[in-house]
């Protein structure tokens, strides 16, 4: 009774202390989560974080909706909305959480002047007004401590706006840099890209391998992919401009191609193909660990004997013809085992179709098609083909 009387004399509610503790804890959780998400270059880990739980729950719901959507083109379009929309929802979640947290702190500090009959809803309104710095002034904190909280919230509101302004360009710059190389893959390896077309279309080096400059560029791209997708995992949900292109498909194509090169006799231990394979596998393994916790119980065979025979036939007339030795087959199987389980697990999680090793039939690249082709066909002059692949 003495404690209740003391609370009545000070104007505090019995719920003031729990509300203040809950508000302070919520502010701390959100600020730390935003700090780790935006500013800290993270290592791979699965600590308790608001952003991680948000993406787990949001992706499960979105994925379930996509699985019920037909045809596949509409499903892919729906999946393409998740990356940008989830980012907006995450920022909204942070802002709403901070508004609720400061409303709890204001409640603990004594409420708002003139709001006794309006309750907690008025404190939410006052908190939102302060966070977004509207400055209406119709409700104000009733105590000095409440004014301190109001100033702190207004400062966080400015910081939140600045964070959004700085965060979005950084994220989209990383996305644009990733997509440039994926777009280049269209003419270099087909649509979707395959190892067979990548090896056929890439200029060979004098020693019979691939041009080191090309492989070096993809090594650097894989390193950038690792850095950006570990620091900003939500980038993995951003889809490419075409449904038959993806960052995962391009990465797997590079791994397939370098595996074929390394499985041949006489592959140098310090060759550029080995360096590119190592970097691409490193990126794939680390990114997979962010999203998939357990290895798949079984995975599909991407290179059955019939496909392997067609692949060998397609490369027979090139400088990169595959040797018929059994040692080549075993080395290739060993190299594939190091990355294919990760690729298939991540592709299943993200609902991305992995590219084949070789197309069943000849296909046009994306750049070769256009919406006016049929109308322009009667007026088109016969094309003089200068390259057998184009």
Burial class for 353, CB neighbours closer than 10 Å (0-12, 13-18, 19+): middle
How many other β-carbons are positioned within 10 Å of the β-carbon of residue 95?
Answer: 19
pLDDT score for 268: 74
Q: What average pLDDT is seen over the chain? A: 85
Residue 4's pLDDT band (cuts 50, 70, 90) = very low
pLDDT digits (tens, 9 = 90+) for 116-175: 545 788 889 999 999 998 878 788 888 888 889 999 999 998 888 888 778 888 889 999
**Listed residue (90, 106, 103, 111) closest to 30, CA to CA:** 90
How many other β-carbons are positioned within 10 Å of the β-carbon of residue 71?
Answer: 7
Give the C-alpha separation, 224 to 235, whole Å: 12
Residue 263's pLDDT band (cuts 50, 70, 90) = very high
pLDDT digits (tens, 9 = 90+) for 15-56: 788 888 999 999 999 998 888 888 776 555 555 578 889 999
pLDDT score for 11: 47
**Listed residue (187, 206, 203, 315) closest to 263, CA to CA:** 315
pLDDT score for 205: 64
CB–CB of 31/163 below 8 Å? no
154-158 LR contacts (CB < 8 Å, sep 24+): 154/130, 156/31, 156/98, 156/131, 157/130, 157/131, 157/132, 157/133, 158/133
DSSP, res 325: -
**Listed residue (83, 141, 110, 79) closest to 10, CA to CA:** 110
pLDDT at residue 102 greater than cutoff 70: yes
pLDDT digits (tens, 9 = 90+) for 318-352: 888 888 877 899 999 999 999 999 999 999 999 99
Give the C-alpha separation, 163 to 141, whole Å: 27
């Amino acid at each position: 009774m003495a404690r209740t009387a003391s609370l009545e004399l000070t104007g505090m509610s019995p719920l003031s202390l729990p509300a203040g503790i809950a508000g302070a804890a919520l502010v701390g959780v959100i600020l730390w989560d935003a700090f780790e998400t935006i500013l800290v270059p993270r290592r791979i880990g699965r600590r308790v974080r608001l952003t991680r739980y948000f993406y787990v729950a949001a992706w499960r719901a979105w994925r379930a909706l996509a699985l019920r959507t037909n045809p596949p083109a509409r499903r892919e379009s729906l999946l393409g909305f998740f990356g940008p929309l989830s980012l907006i929802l995450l920022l909204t979640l942070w802002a709403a959480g901070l508004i609720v947290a400061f409303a709890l702190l204001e409640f603990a500090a004594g409420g708002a002047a003139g709001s006794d009959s309006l309750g907690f809803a008025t404190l939410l309104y006052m908190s939102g007004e302060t966070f977004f710095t509207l400055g209406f002034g119709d409700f104000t904190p009733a105590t000095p401590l409440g004014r301190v909280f109001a100033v702190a919230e207004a400062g966080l509101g400015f910081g939140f706006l600045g964070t959004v302004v700085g965060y979005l360009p950084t994220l989209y710059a990383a996305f644009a840099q990733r997509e440039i190389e994926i777009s280049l893959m269209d003419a270099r390896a087909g649509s979707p890209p395959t190892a067979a077309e990548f090896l056929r279309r890439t200029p060979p080096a004098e020693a019979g391998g691939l041009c080191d400059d090309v492989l070096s560029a993809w090594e650097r791209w894989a390193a950038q992919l690792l850095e950006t997708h570990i620091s900003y995992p939500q980038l993995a949900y951003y889809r490419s401009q075409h449904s038959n292109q993806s960052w995962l498909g391009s990465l797997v194509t590079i791994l397939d191609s370098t595996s074929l090169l390394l499985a041949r006799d006489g592959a140098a231990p310090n060759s550029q193909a080995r360096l590119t394979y190592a970097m691409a596998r490193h990126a794939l393994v680390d990114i997979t660990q962010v999203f998939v916790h357990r290895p798949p119980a079984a995975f599909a065979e991407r290179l059955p004997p019939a496909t392997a025979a067609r692949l060998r036939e397609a490369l027979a007339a090139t400088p990169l013809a595959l040797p018929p030795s059994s040692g080549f087959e075993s080395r290739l199987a060993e190299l594939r085992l190091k990355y294919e389980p990760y690729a298939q697990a991540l592709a299943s999680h993200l609902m991305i179709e992995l590219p084949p090793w070789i197309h069943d039939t000849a296909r046009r690249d994306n750049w070769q098609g256009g919406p006016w082709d049929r109308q322009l066909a009667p007026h088109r002059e016969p094309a003089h083909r200068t390259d057998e692949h184009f």
